[in-house]
A and B are shown apart, each in its own frame.
Chain A
Amino acid sequence: MDKTDRKYTNGEITVFWHPKKCIHATTCYRELIEVFNPRKRPWVNMNGASTEEIIRVVKLCPTQALAFKYNKDIDGDKQAGINSGPKETDAEARIMEDGPLVLKGSFILYDIDGKELKHYKMTSLCRCGASNTLPFCDGTHRKIGYTGK
């Protein structure tokens, strides 16, 4: 994420656009020019179609340059009182039961020596301790019968 990112809302959902990820594949405006019109400013018109239509097309974006969130979820964050910092991020860390920790989205990953590790759209980090490719998961957790919430 960076400061060129934009967001647009119709009160129900918020659409996020990450220009650096946009490869101008044109999918969005061929599907829904009423909403995604690169000749207009702002180029996203959230009143141009129904929420369902917008969500459908956001999901078609091949590069994740487009993303969306329901505003009620965003408000939920506020109510929980955890919006002290900036809120927009696609970073997600997820625990797989009896398996690895899965990272998705914008993280910076550092190895034990402080060196930055390449991380892809999705990275699985070993939790069982037995992987042959530490710090990454290589599936060994299944062989050793690792259990963990």
Chain B
Amino acid sequence: MQEKETTVHQPAEVRILKDGPIMIKGTFAFKDSSGKITKGEQELYICRCGGSSTKPWCDNTHKKIGLAY
């Protein structure tokens, strides 16, 4: 078998959005609480206020709750 060499990409970025969700953007593996994995390029918004009704996703409830950080 031949040796294969590749170059790899920039690391994925994770941003804590002020008073809002966590944004994860780039190429990474995402594992939900049931263990299901999605790989590849993606952009996700994870609820950080505890109040979303579509967890783990943000549904903008943080505005009502008034998450302050």
Q: Footprint of B on A, CB under 8 Å?
A: 1-3, 5-11, 42, 44, 46-47, 77, 80, 82-89, 91-97, 101, 103, 105-113, 117, 119, 125-130, 134-135, 146, 148-149
Contact = CB atoms under 8 A, between A and B. Distances in A.
Interface residues of B, number: 46
B50 A82 contact: no
Contacts of A84: 40-41
A17 B17 CA distance: 34
Contacts, number: 157
B6 A93 contact: no
Residue in B8, B16, B46, B50 with the greatest tally of chain A CB atoms within 10 Å: B8
A111 B64 CA distance: 22
B13 A128 contact: no
B46 A10 contact: no
Contacts of A107: 11-14, 24, 28
A7 B51 contact: no
A44 to B, nearest CB: 8
Contacts of B41: 82, 84-85
Contacts of A42: 3
Contacts of B38: 82
B11 A148 contact: no
A1 B1 contact: no
